[in-house]
Chains A and B, each alone.
Chain A
Amino acid sequence: MKKTVLDYTLKIRLPLTLFVIAASFVITFYASRAERDSVGYTPDQPIAFSHKLHAGQMAIDCQYCHVGVSKGRQATIPSVNICMNCHAVARKDKPEIIKLTKYYEEGKPLPWKRIHKVPDYAYFNHSVHVNKGIDCASCHGDLKEMEKVGQVKAFTMTACLDCHRKPHENLPYLQKVNNGPENCFACHR
């Protein structure tokens, strides 16, 4: 009697449990991968700014707003006064612009939702990449088509290293490109 119970537990219950655990782990692992890497993260922003309109249709250069991108580590989110360069005059009647103007005039901080983030211990430098001729779209996706910005590619160490090791495959538009550094100090300090 007792023996059969033990047999049943060992032969059927245990493998079944293990299988269910393993299967659910594997399914969750692959199904949630994008979310873990934040791919597809498209938060609502305090002001519904459209890259499609500004960068796409009007073809404003990225660096007009993201002033730091070729000068330093941070690309920088444009300060409100940069928006007001145009919007002090342009489209002043639109609700989103009225919101924007209010932020500007009250001197209130404009809390944009952060979309792309590398961990604190990685020191990604925009300027070295941009000055080597790498296009923004290679990491950030085609912003000219994005009404609302979301993350398109994974920002993991694997993703960084993949491009550093195989730049020709990942950046076919660059004629002359060397492998990126792979040593620890290239990103961590």
Chain B
Amino acid sequence: MDSNSNNKKFWKSISEYNNEPEILKNKRNEFSEGVTDDFEPSELSGMSRRKFIALMGAATAITATACSDYRDKGEIIPYNKRPEEILPGTANYYASTCTGCESLCGILVKTREGRPIKIDGNPDHPVNKGKICAKGQAEVTNLYDPTRIKEPLFNKRKVSWEQADNQLISEFKKATEDGVEIALISEHILSPTFNKLLAEFKSKYPTTKQYYYSATDNGNKLNAAFQSYGNYSIPTPRYDKAELVVALDDDFLGVDGNSIENTKNYSMKRDAINKVNFNRLYVIEGRMSLTGMMSDYRMRLRPEAQLEFVWTLINELKSNGSISFPAELASKVSNYTITKLVSTYKINEKKLRGLLSDLSKSKGKSIITAGKNLSESVHVSVNYLNELLNNTGNFDYNNFDLGASYASYKDFENLVSKMESGKVGVVLNLDINPLFNLPADLGFGKGYSKVKTTVAFTLENNETSEKSKYLLPINHFLESWGDYRNKTYVMSLQQPVINPLFNTRQKESIFLTWVSGEAKSYNVNSYHKYLLENFDTAIYNNSSKKTDNKSFWYGSLHDGIVELNTTTNSKGVFNTGSFGSLSNPAVKSNFSVYLTEGYFLGGGKFANNGWLQETPHPVTKITWDNYVSVSPSTAKQFGIEKDDLLEISVNNKKLKIAAVIQPGLADEVLHIEFGNGRKVVGDVGLETGVNAFELISKKNTESNFVLSGAEFSKTGETYKLASTQEHHSLDDTFVKDFHKVRKIIQEGTVNEYKKHPHFLHDEKHEVFSITDEHKYTEVKWAMAIDLNKCTSCGGCVTACNVENNIPVVGKDQVLLGREMQWMRIDRYYSGTPDEPETSNQPMLCQHCDNAPCENVCPVNATNHSPDGLNQMAYNRCVGTRYCSNNCPYKVRRFNFFNFRDHFADSYYENNLTPLGNNPEVTVRSRGVMEKCTFCIQKIMDARQVAIKEERPLNGNDVVTACQQACPAEAIVFGDSNDPESKISKYRKHNLAYHVLETLNVKPNVTYIAKLRNTHSEEV
């Protein structure tokens, strides 16, 4: 490994690595092709220039005749009876729980005049501690989605709730009398009260059978936990405790497990500012994941070989005496040696030996984890290896015991045969989409259509609800009550922050009505009451009872959580037999399809969310689509180029999908992310990618998502993927060694830094200004981004979108380079395409003291404020785009259209979606430039408070949206004139640098150089 960063050549794509003429041309040009194309006038508003002038004339004439009259300014309508807590213009925050996935993060919902406009993490929540992922942030759009179902439907016709309830209750009664099954399919239900309610439902209708199913399940991990420890509770690795982390295809910083909790813990061990206490991360993976990008050492290995890999580790550790291994099992693993692994899978032997010696040195201080898509055997072996290395102290065993695993394909086969033979009377789908997610060869769809009564609980129409007889629209979680518990020590409460927007009900209260057997028994508060009663009996009565139950409830509701002092789960005893009974790994050759969860679409659930569709993929930076990734050597071998449409066939199923050449991908792996390709979905999600679930089969019993024996062929067609990767490129090929001279990415290793802390700033150069410098006497805003911590998860990008009313532009516009996100995360590769190292860098407006954009604005729409902000006055901008042309960081975004009107037939221009806008930020229209403002609305809010309290504004009063969202706390913001502030400390740090420092534009965003924790002998 080449550790001296200053000799590294950085590249962002394979074509750039090969210096292809197209890329060179793009880099030389200021704007990418198409971005400055003329408008198609017919696509603009229908009014011609002549007509416009005629109308103007008419308007002037009317104004002239009416000029003695005043302009009407409309009305102000105050509340009739103002709720005491609501003051117009002032935000309220309510604690609740996000149920977007099974992580169940505590959230604080910001509401304005009763409308939720932003979701932040709840700082009091012990698990996510004030942070929330991109998906959670974008949930606001789901609430205000115009395609939400507004009425209950029966056979696609409107029906009243009462009628639907009556019919269904009689169906349940009939099913009970006939002794046919009522199948209830849902994800794991983590609400104690809802579980209690379902138990009541089951006792009332005893033929009910529950099936747990999730598109993004971690069933293999769960089953392995049961095999090894005898309970259905997956231990959480405590990355803040371990010195060595070995991730086997485990994207724990991305989508495996609770990424917020993991990122928070992991980043504690990446602190370059105070104590340099780096852990070492090895990632062994077949794909290129977000976690892989963060690794210190990364090895490529196809997913089927992971079992062999673990057994090799066990065998080698046994051989060198690091672990005591039972003799009777020795023969099981003795065949698996490094030499064999290296020769079969072409793993880098040096790295592998390094891993082994690290593992033997850090016994009890390491964590080995495996990804949820790997087979059960890998997980059992990994559990065992952690036991052998005494690593169990680095795990948290407080996850709630789920009590049951997910339904297997076998269970579903039984269900389908029962459906076909009429032994199932009712199927209830609780907010899931099995017709999209389940393997087609299970025949679930066919069986489903034969069931007399099928019910879908859903927010929006989907593949399953379309084929269901009853469609019951449910509340969004921002409109619902609930209690949730996935850890033993905390209960997270959910409260509605807005009345249901449509004629919807929360799913729990629908069940409550059914349990009562009386359709009329429903009222809006029925589940609220039920929840309260259960809370009193289950929680309050077991608490220390310092207050009465009402105050206790309101206090808990205010905090959003109840800390429970139940006895913590202890780790079960490892069952060695679970390892002993594993069958030997089968050697696989030839191609295999590897499916993993897409980063932002949650298995298809969020397909209709434009913000998430448009967030660039953390690795490939592709938006709006999924694709098949192939390794560079595979691409070379078969002559595949980016955007080539390949036909993949596996399990006798075929799928046409566009190709991406992914550096660092294992050879013979075809990696596809699932979640795209929904067919029955709102306008936003239509025609975005292909459905990778079509490839899975019930035959894949080992792992649903590793499909061996795949073939592919080129179709000769191409499909254009919209990647933001080469847009807004900072490189300049005319300057040799640009990254060194221009200091875009600077890196080092931990050992280098410890020996020589000033290594970044060895070359001192005096830069001076030819004009007088402006003096900043009071607060001066600045930001620092710690590249050691940033995982490029995209949370900041979404937070910025939500906070600053950033529009969705659509795939056609992204292709032209017109994406509007104020923040982008640049990704640079270095090294070879086969074994690249990755560097990430969030890039946003640098608020330069000598900003080049300001000098060229002909109307002075962009200029500098006395507190160091590069300000942008939209109402002054005339859209010359000179500023964008002159910006060295390429962070300015131009409204080529009124994107709200332009995107998807004005999808976001209706009465509903603007309710989610932040009223403190202007909604920009066509023809104006925009860019990061350092969240000026938050600065002004803090200033308002400071003035009220008659004190000077303090830099710590302001937390920008990206900073608030960052789970790794990589972003620091504050007053750089305050010598005591965190930001000043960061700016003066040895690892601090500014991008393009030599231009002397004096940026106010400081980057902390990334250190890699590699072995010292390589320095």
Residues in A lying within 8 Å of B, measured CB to CB: 28, 32, 35, 38, 40-41, 43, 67-68, 70-74, 76-82, 103-104, 107-115, 117, 119-121, 123, 125, 127-128, 131-132, 181, 183-186, 188-189
Q: Given the interface contacts A72-B89, A103-B80, does A127 sit within 8 Å of B944 by beta carbon? A: yes
Q: How far is the CB of A148 from chain B (nearest CB, A)?
A: 14
Residues in B lying within 8 Å of A, measured CB to CB: 67-82, 87-90, 863-866, 869, 871-876, 920-922, 933, 936-937, 939-940, 943-944, 947-948, 950
Q: Given the interface contacts A114-B73, A185-B871, does A70 sit within 8 Å of B948 by beta carbon? A: yes
Contact A111 B77 (CB under 8 A): yes
The complex places the Cα of A123 from the Cα of B939 at a distance, in Å, of: 13
Interface SS, A side: loop
* 19 residue pairs A–B, Cβ–Cβ below 8 Å: A35-B68, A40-B70, A68-B90, A71-B87, A72-B88, A76-B87, A76-B89, A79-B78, A107-B81, A110-B78, A112-B78, A114-B75, A121-B875, A123-B920, A123-B937, A125-B944, A185-B936, A186-B865, A189-B922
Interface SS, B side: loop
Give the 7 A-B residue pairs with the shortest CB-CB distance, closest first: A79-B82, A74-B89, A79-B79, A183-B865, A184-B873, A72-B89, A111-B75
Contact A112 B75 (CB under 8 A): yes
Contact B873 A109 (CB under 8 A): no
The complex places the Cα of A127 from the Cα of B945 at a distance, in Å, of: 9
In-complex Cβ contact of A188 among B68, B875, B944 (8 A): B875
Contact B79 A38 (CB under 8 A): no
Q: How far is the CB of B992 from chain A (nearest CB, A)?
A: 26
Q: How far is the CB of B1016 from chain A (nearest CB, A)?
A: 49
Residues of chain B within 8 A (CB-CB) of A131 are 947-948, 950
Contact A104 B80 (CB under 8 A): yes
The complex places the Cα of A189 from the Cα of B1014 at a distance, in Å, of: 45
Residues of chain A within 8 A (CB-CB) of B921 are 189
Contact A125 B940 (CB under 8 A): yes
Contact B70 A68 (CB under 8 A): no
The complex places the Cα of A125 from the Cα of B939 at a distance, in Å, of: 13
The complex places the Cα of A114 from the Cα of B74 at a distance, in Å, of: 6
> Among the interface residues B76, B87, B865, B943, which one has the most CB atoms of the partner chain A within 10 A?
B76
The complex places the Cα of A110 from the Cα of B77 at a distance, in Å, of: 6
The complex places the Cα of A121 from the Cα of B75 at a distance, in Å, of: 18
Residues of chain B within 8 A (CB-CB) of A127 are 944, 947-948
The complex places the Cα of A33 from the Cα of B692 at a distance, in Å, of: 66
Residues of chain A within 8 A (CB-CB) of B875 are 119, 121, 188
The complex places the Cα of A112 from the Cα of B921 at a distance, in Å, of: 26
Contact B70 A41 (CB under 8 A): yes
Residues of chain A within 8 A (CB-CB) of B936 are 185, 189
Residues of chain B within 8 A (CB-CB) of A35 are 67-70
Residues of chain A within 8 A (CB-CB) of B87 are 67-68, 71-72, 76
Closest to A70 in B: B948
In-complex Cβ contact of B78 among A41, A76, A121 (8 A): A76
Contact B71 A38 (CB under 8 A): yes
Contact A121 B871 (CB under 8 A): no
Closest to B86 in A: A79
Contact B869 A72 (CB under 8 A): no
Contact A184 B865 (CB under 8 A): yes
Q: How far is the CB of B774 from chain A (nearest CB, A)?
A: 12
Contact B67 A28 (CB under 8 A): yes
Q: Given the interface contacts A71-B90, A184-B865, does A78 sit within 8 Å of B78 by beta carbon? A: yes
Contact B947 A79 (CB under 8 A): no
Contact A121 B874 (CB under 8 A): yes
In-complex Cβ contact of A68 among B88, B872, B947 (8 A): B88
Residues of chain A within 8 A (CB-CB) of B90 are 68, 71-72
The complex places the Cα of A127 from the Cα of B943 at a distance, in Å, of: 10
Other A-B pairs beyond A79-B79, A127-B948, A189-B936, 15, CB < 8 Å: A40-B70, A43-B70, A68-B88, A71-B87, A76-B89, A77-B76, A80-B80, A114-B75, A127-B947, A181-B866, A183-B865, A184-B871, A185-B865, A185-B940, A186-B865
Q: Given the interface contacts A80-B81, A185-B936, does A114 sit within 8 Å of B76 by beta carbon? A: yes
Contact A189 B74 (CB under 8 A): no
The complex places the Cα of A120 from the Cα of B920 at a distance, in Å, of: 10
Residues of chain A within 8 A (CB-CB) of B89 are 68, 72-74, 76
Q: Given the interface contacts A72-B87, A185-B869, A189-B921, does A32 sit within 8 Å of B67 by beta carbon? A: yes
The complex places the Cα of A112 from the Cα of B80 at a distance, in Å, of: 12
The complex places the Cα of A112 from the Cα of B78 at a distance, in Å, of: 8
Contact B79 A189 (CB under 8 A): no
Q: Given the interface contacts A67-B87, A188-B922, does A112 sit within 8 Å of B81 by beta carbon? A: no
The complex places the Cα of A32 from the Cα of B63 at a distance, in Å, of: 11
In-complex Cβ contact of B81 among A67, A81, A121, A128 (8 A): A81
Q: How far is the CB of B945 from chain A (nearest CB, A)?
A: 9
In-complex Cβ contact of B863 among A110, A112, A184 (8 A): A184
> Among the interface residues A111, A183, A185, A188, which one has the most CB atoms of the partner chain B within 10 A?
A185
Closest to A112 in B: B76
Contact A183 B866 (CB under 8 A): yes
In-complex Cβ contact of B940 among A38, A76, A189 (8 A): A189
Contact B933 A81 (CB under 8 A): no
Residues of chain B within 8 A (CB-CB) of A82 are 82
The complex places the Cα of A183 from the Cα of B70 at a distance, in Å, of: 31
Closest to B89 in A: A74
Residues of chain A within 8 A (CB-CB) of B872 are 184
Residues of chain A within 8 A (CB-CB) of B947 are 127-128, 131-132
The complex places the Cα of A117 from the Cα of B207 at a distance, in Å, of: 65
In-complex Cβ contact of B80 among A109, A181, A183 (8 A): A109
